[in-house]
Amino acid sequence: MSNPTVRARAGQDRANLYNEITDKIIVELEAGRVPWVQPWGTAAAKAPLAIPKNASTDRSYSGINVLLLWGSTIEHGYSGQSWLTFRQALSLGGYVRKGERGTAVVYADRFVPRDEKQRAAETGDEAQAIPFLKRFTVFNTDQCDGLPGEIATAAPPPPPGLIEPTVETLIRATGITFRIGGDRAFYAPAEDFVQVPPPQAYFEPINWHRTALHELGHATGHRSRLNRDLSGSYGTKKYAFEELVAELSSAFSCASLGIVPTVRHADYIGSWLEVLREDNRAIVRAASQASKAADYLLGFIPEPIEHASLDSAVADHETA
């Protein structure tokens, strides 16, 4: 039988980690800053817009780790979006400079406790897995010395001229009914179509693409696609949570496509705060679902493109 004290301590550690992540997001929102819409291109951000990557494996981070690493990049003014564990830096011939402090990322998985396996074997029931988060520490390549040049140098952002055609190709390839017109942007779940105002209605046309990806993010939740719960009506917690998923999905997609938005969607900050304060796991779940939504959409782009994969990048740390 498993030790109940150890299990209780593990449960407390998981709760503390969820609280720590959620508290960071709440602080940003209360200050009027949306962590997943960073001030790219301003003095506050030196790094090019991109999904953070593990510099050793070249795999993209996803879910809540994107938000954590973006936040650290902005806070410390790093010049790139590449990260390594302490051991990975050594394996590449470099090292983390003395005194540097890392950034915590998490690896999400599920496991079946030994006593649960025994219970299932005795009763014939299916064993119930328990979700967990495991913490890892990574360092930006700016915090390292002695790395190979190709590792230490950040890749340049994609040419601006490629952005709009790529989004248009994605829209067509998804097969989702996409209507342009009117003065509102929305997704209609019952009829399964997206509608957004025409690009010329936007003060800055680049934000049309971000809005389109936001509404397409909602559309990925249709039962024929990723099958999320879209039943929440306006003003409910379900509605606010789905808006959070779509907003994060749009942010992840924009970063993958090199789109630099300027809007902040401040109208939803209050409802997001309410959701996060009541459920310290909400931001983790929303970010995970948003990564799946972004992956779904970006998968329709025929050309190879760098975009967020599942949390395999973090899993590599177990062997690093």
pLDDT digits (tens, 9 = 90+) for 88-141: 999 999 999 999 999 999 887 787 888 888 888 888 888 888 877 788 899 999
d(CA 116, CA 119): 5
Look at residue 153 in the predicted model and tell me its pLDDT: 55
Query: What pTM does this model have?
Result: 0.68
- Cα torsion 261, 189, 227, 217 to 10°: value is -10
Q: What is the pLDDT of residue 2?
A: 45
For 194, the token pair is 């997206």
Termini Cα distance of the chain = 31
d(CA 51, CA 70): 8
3-state secondary structure at position 301: coil
Q: Give residue limits of the domains in the chain.
A: 4-156, 160-298
- Beta-carbon contacts of residue 23 (< 8 Å; ≥ 6 apart): none
Percent of the chain with pLDDT over 70: 79
Q: What percent of the chain has pLDDT over 90?
A: 36
Residue 39 in this model has a pLDDT that exceeds 50: no
pLDDT over 50 at 314, yes or no: no
Q: Is the pLDDT of residue 87 over 60?
A: yes
For residue 172, give Cα distances in angstroms to 175, 180, 236, 295, 306: 6, 13, 32, 16, 20
Measured CA to CA, the distance from residue 49 to residue 66 in angstroms comes to: 12
Given a cut of 70, is residue 10 above it in pLDDT? no
| Mean pLDDT to the nearest integer, 238-258 | 90
pLDDT of residue 141: 93
* Nearest in space to 288 (alpha carbons), one of 113, 133, 100, 87: 133
Residue 65 CB contacts under 8 Å (≥ 6 apart), including other chains: 52, 105, 106, 311, 313, 314
pLDDT digits (tens, 9 = 90+) for 195-242: 888 887 777 778 889 899 999 999 999 999 999 999 999 889 899 999
pLDDT digits 0-9 by tens, 138-157: 999 999 989 998 786 554 54
